[in-house]
Every structure is written in structure tokens, then in C-alpha cells.
Amino acid sequence: MNLKEKIEALRQQLHKHNHDYYVKDAATISDFEFDGLLKELQQLEEAHPEFNDPNSPTQRVGGGLTKNFETIAHEHRMYSLDNSYSKEDLLDWETRLKKMVDGPISFTCELKYDGASISLTYKNGKLLRAVTRGDGFQGDNVTTNIKTIKSVPLTLSGDYPESFDIRGEIVLPLDGFNAMNAAREEAGEELYRNPRNTASGSLKLQDSSEVANRPLECLLYALVGSSLGVETQYESLEKARSWGFKVPDKAGLVKSIDAVFEFVNYWDVHRHDLPYETDGVVIKVNNLQQQEELGYTAKAPRWAMAYKFKAEQASSVLNEITYQVGRTGAITPVANLSPVELAGTTVKRASLHNADQIKKLDIREGDTVYVEKGGEIIPKIVGVNLLLRPNSSEPTKYIVQCPECHTSLVRKQDEAQHYCPNYAGCFPQIVGRIQHFISRKAMDIDGLGGETVALLVREGLINNYADLYELTLEHIIPLERMAEKSAQNMVAGIENSKQIAFERVLFALGIRYVGETVAKKIVRHYKTIDAIATATQEDLEQVEEIGVRIAQSVREFFNDIASQELIRRLKNYGVQLEISAQQMADQTNLLQGEIFVVSGVFHQVSRTELKKLIEDNGGKVSSSISARTSFVIAGDKMGPSKRAKAEALGVTITDEDSFLSRIAK
């Protein structure tokens, strides 16, 4: 085998493993083995650029920058769908169909996944380009970003046509969305509003390596072109799946409108069990010849109809709009509502997100507003009942000064949020940073809570987290409602925090975008605070899971004179700002390439300690079970659904004792 043949064989092998895992959900090799093959291919390609291939598996890691996205006309227009909201609408639609085509009509029923529409073009089995829906006639070329999504095949297999388009939806699974928001919460950032907007926004990120770090998936549902070799919609789904596309397996082929109703009724209940957000069912005439006969209106195909599930909604009066200041200075407007029952809970407040959202919906105090549970979890205002708007109503004027310190707000270009720039003098920012520093996953200081932090700042005893280490009993005991024992516990807790591991200290510093997981990655790579402080942005970007934005934020923090002074003081107080010799000894590669899910209650070590042991020994911790999972460590009261899923996927279930014995050996 010559060099070119070896490179091509590696590419084909990696394409197959990607497909097995990301499309078929059936991993055939370990992560460690896959990474080894990918590294070998990268080295060969770098040494021999004459064999470059834009659809090589190495392109999935991202790294390409797109400053301006090229506008491309769709060869075949991307139509919208007509919506229906009742069974009567569907019956009326069926009546219209029967008037327009002869013979019996069968239907495919497909779940309507809530994401960002995409059109992929393939020629000779290779991905040529990926274009957003845009206005339906033309969209943006986002090929570089789409190549990073593992479920998008770069090359096809089987009897695919020479040239065709395939339409689909870029979605963000709920587990991935929740994990991203958990990381943003740790970093003190504004939470993403919903999976759909986050998926859509991901497609236009300039740095494709950031897209690669997001757990996006591409679900395909429609072939477009000529000479496709299929006669029905359902057959096209099966064909696309055989060529390598991730086609949802929840579609149904039915022969009557009554069967359509059964499909809709079933998924209106069971959609909550799906890993993705879905807001309805798309019903299509199955026969492609009949589709052609039915044709299109000016906006939508006559042969398809979207039945939209009804979101649970209630109306309430918006009594007041208030504004919160986060520890990063971000301003969040909040709607204070008359209490209303919604999806089993009493809702009194809902985020209004930012000034743009208020302006878009023209939300005003005194309005009767419609409230929904976004994703059945987060309350959101979706509209205003203008018929009930008071005659005295005035448009909302977004604040121009911080509600706490009255500093003029700023809004950076391309950011939706307003910020208070008074980093060192704004009370909620100061308190928020210290509260983050002492939190359980950070310095975990016993005897010191959020209210006490606010009291200490208000009394002028502290102004930043380094000041904590200068507190004495004489400072604390005179405080209101502070008993001597409580003061002693606080001082002891602060002293004990000097033994907290470096990775948690780095997280505690509150560097923007540096959450718990990112802090671990940085510390594992650099070992000391001095090494991090002197690392260039380019160096930081080479660390696993560290993108441009995180690297920039770390550099900005350590370039700041006030931050440098805080670090100097923490060093002098004896806070751990480097990995200890014991930690170095404890870190092994024993679990390299293995993924663990931890579930249940444990007795010898805490759940947090168990996860740390896994990571210290080179393993990875996941929150959900999949075919990729190596082991589930099951404690008492492990959920039966998780156990059933592990057993169904053939994932090994082990217990706490067995795992600890393995580590000890």
C-alpha cells in the first residue's frame, strides 16, 4: 500500500467509525483508538499536503475562520409549511387533497424537530456545500461549520445519486443544551434561552472550532433533485439512512387520516421522552408522483401540513419590570407577574432577556401577557393581549443606568445584553463574585453564606475575595446576628479553604467562560497559576476544549492589574495556586478512553469525589447513558430507567466497591 492509499484507507476507516457512533449510535472502537487513528491521519496530511481532501475526517475538529458568510441561491427553493392546530384543519386538508389527486392517499408522519433548517448539497458522494434556509430563495454558506457536526456525513456509501440536495434540521439535544447552560451558569454568563436559538446561532459563529465543541446534530428528512431512484417519501427516508445520513426512526407510514390522528395523539404525550425539542408533526403525502401533482402555493407545498402541538399557556398581568445585575455586570430585565398556575407550578416571574425582546413584543407594565413554559421548564412571555392594554399605557423605556450603582450602562457590538461597567464599585457584582468564590463547587467555605457575604461587603469589611483571608474574630463578632461560635466557624472555614485544590481555586476566581470543567482542563495542562498567567492566547487555544473566546477571556483576566494584585495576595495567604505533588502522583491514565456515568447514592466517597477519581485517572464523566458509555457506576437508589437503558445498550454496570478496588490496584 502506497502513501496515498494509506491516507485514503485511514479516511474511510474514520468515516465509518464516525457513522457507527454518531448516526447508528453503536461505537465500534474506543475513543482512545479513534483519537489515535485521527492523529495519525492529521500527521500524514500535514506532511503531504498534495493529498489534501476538503472532506477528510480531520476537517471535523474545526479551526477555520469565516468573517463573512457568502450568500448562495438555493437551486431548489426551501418552502415554508402550512400549519394546523386542530384535527378539523387536518380533515379539511385531506378533503382538498382528495379533490386534487386520484386514487388512495397514504401519508408519512414525521416529528417536527425544533432547530435550524439546512440544505446540504452532495456531488459524487461528497459534501459540496451547506446553506442555511435564509429567506427560502437564498441562504448563507456555512459549510465550514457544518463539517464539524459529526452526524453530517462528509462522504456517502451505497447507491446514492450523482447529485442531489438533502434538507434537514440542525438541532441541539436537550442534554447538550442543559450541559452548556450549566457551564455558563458556573461562569456567571447569561443562559442560552432555548435549544433552537442556540443551534441556529451556532451556524453563524465565525470560529468553526467553537461549533465543533457544541453537541449539535443534523436530522435529515427530505431529498430534493431529479433521478433520485425513489418513488415515495418513506422510501426516501430509508434510502437516505442507507447512504449514511442520520434520519430519525420515529417516522410512520399510515394509510388513513385516522391513523394520522393516532400518531399525533401518541407523540403529543410521548414527545417529552425524546432527546430533542419537538413542536409538532409534519404530515406528507407519501407518493412523490402525487406530491408533484399537488404542487405548491406561493409559500408552501400543498402536499404537506405541520400539526403544531399546543404549548401550555396562561395569561397574567405584568405588574412591574425590574432589572437584575449579575456578577459579570450583565443586566437582565424581569417581568414580575400576578401569580399564575402553569404546567404544575406557580409562576410569578419571567425573564424578559434583553431590551431587544421587550421592544420586539412591545411589552409594557400593566399589560396582560401570555406566558408559556419554554421547553416545559422556563417561563417566558410570548405575547401581549392588546385588547386589554390600559389606555394610559406607555412604551417601556429600557434603563440607561445601573439600577444599583447608577453607572451608565454599555452595550457591546453584537451583544444583546447591556452591562454595568463598574466592575469594582457595583454592589451586586462585588457580592456576586465573592459568593461565587465561596460556593460549594469552588472554595466551599463552611460558615459563610450569601447573606453574610452581602453583610460583610455592606459593612466595608471586604471588597473582594482576597479580603476574606484578612478577616478576624474581632472583625466578625460585632456584626448583627453574629454569634461567637458562628464567627469561629467562619474564620476556620476560610482558613481551611487554603487547602482547596488548584482546579477549584481557578474556577472560584470567576474568570468569564471558565466553568468547572474548563478550569480542570486548564489546570491539568498548565499545573501552576504562573504558567497560566504567562500563556499566550495561541497557547491556550491548544488546550483541549479551549476555544478562542475562552482563551481571550483568560488573557484579559491575567492582563488586568487588579486581577494580578488579587493573585499576588492569594499566594501570600497560602491559597493553592498550583497542583500539589500528591495530585501529580494521583493522576494516571488508567481509565484513558473510558466514559463513565455515575448514578445513585454512594457511601465510601461522595459523588463529586467519585467523578474526580475518574478524571484524575484519565477517564471522562458523562451525565447520560449512550452506546458510547463504558461503565455505569451504580449506587443505592439508582433510577430504574437508567438501569434499563444501560442493560438495553449492553453497558457494563459496576458498583462503588468494584470501581474503588480497580483504582486502588
Instruction: Give the C-alpha separation, 547 to 209, whole Å.
Output: 7
Is-contact 369 316, C-beta < 8 A? yes
Helix, coil or strand: residue 600: coil
588-664: in CATH 3.40.50.10190: yes
Q: Residues near 321 by Cβ (< 8 Å), separated by ≥ 6?
A: 333, 334, 335, 336, 352, 358, 363, 365, 396
pLDDT exceeds 60 at position 344: no
Query: Which residue pairs from 43-50 have beta carbons closer than 8 angstroms and sit at least 24 positions apart in sequence?
Result: 44/3, 44/6, 44/7, 44/10, 45/7, 48/3, 48/7
pLDDT exceeds 70 at position 31: no
pLDDT exceeds 90 at position 511: yes
Helix, coil or strand: residue 219: strand
Answer left, alpha or beta for residue 470, where phi above 0 means left and psi between -120 and 50 means alpha.
alpha
Lowest mean pLDDT segment, chosen from 75-89, 145-159, 535-549, 611-625: 611-625
Q: What percent of the chain has pLDDT over 90?
A: 50
Q: What percent of the chain has pLDDT over 70?
A: 92
pLDDT value of residue 376: 44
Per-domain residue ranges of the chain: 3-61, 83-308, 311-420, 427-499, 502-584, 588-664
Domains 427-499 and 502-584 share a fold: yes
CA-wise closest residue to 591 among 660, 522, 640: 660
pLDDT tens-digit profile of 273-294?
888 888 899 999 999 888 888 8
pLDDT value of residue 23: 56
pLDDT tens-digit profile of 357-387?
999 999 999 999 999 865 445 688 989 999 9
pLDDT tens-digit profile of 454-475?
999 999 999 999 999 999 999 9
pLDDT value of residue 375: 44
CA-wise closest residue to 61 among 542, 521, 537, 535: 542
pLDDT grade, residue 173 (50/70/90)? very high
pLDDT value of residue 12: 76
Helix, coil or strand: residue 394: coil
Helix, coil or strand: residue 225: coil
Fold classified for 427-499: DNA polymerase; domain 1 (1.10.150)
pLDDT value of residue 61: 59
pLDDT exceeds 70 at position 32: no
pLDDT tens-digit profile of 86-144?
889 999 999 999 888 777 999 999 999 988 999 999 999 999 999 999 878 888 999 99
pLDDT tens-digit profile of 242-251?
999 999 999 9
What backbone phi and psi angles, to 5 degrees, belong to 419? -130, 150
Q: Residues near 539 by Cβ (< 8 Å), separated by ≥ 6?
A: none
pLDDT exceeds 90 at position 413: no
pLDDT grade, residue 57 (50/70/90)? low
**Prediction pTM value:** 0.52
3-61: in CATH 1.20.1250.20: no
Name the strands in the sheet holding 652-655, side by side, starting at the edge strand that comes first in the sequence: 620-622, 595-599, 631-634, 652-655
Residues noted as catalytic: 112
The secondary structure of 172-207, three-state, reads CCHHHHHHHHHHHHHCCCCCCCCHHHHHHHHCCCCE
| For range 607-622, the mean pLDDT | 82
Is-contact 611 595, C-beta < 8 A? no
Fold classified for 311-420: OB fold (Dihydrolipoamide Acetyltransferase, E2P) (2.40.50)
502-584: in CATH 3.40.50.1820: no
Helix, coil or strand: residue 112: strand
pLDDT exceeds 60 at position 63: no
CA-wise closest residue to 571 among 509, 653, 621, 614: 509
Residues β-bridged to residue 283: 109, 305
pLDDT exceeds 80 at position 665: no
Q: Give the mean pLDDT of the chain.
A: 87
> Residue 598 burial (CB < 10 Å; 0-12/13-18/19+)?
buried
Instruction: Give the C-alpha separation, 481 to 459, whole Å.
Output: 14
Strands 652-655 and 331-342: unpaired
Is-contact 206 261, C-beta < 8 A? no
What backbone phi and psi angles, to 5 degrees, belong to 287? -75, 120
Instruction: Give the C-alpha separation, 635 to 340, whole Å.
Output: 39
pLDDT exceeds 90 at position 51: no
pLDDT value of residue 415: 80
Superfamily of domain 83-308: DNA ligase/mRNA capping enzyme (3.30.470.30)
pLDDT tens-digit profile of 193-219?
778 888 988 898 888 888 888 999 999
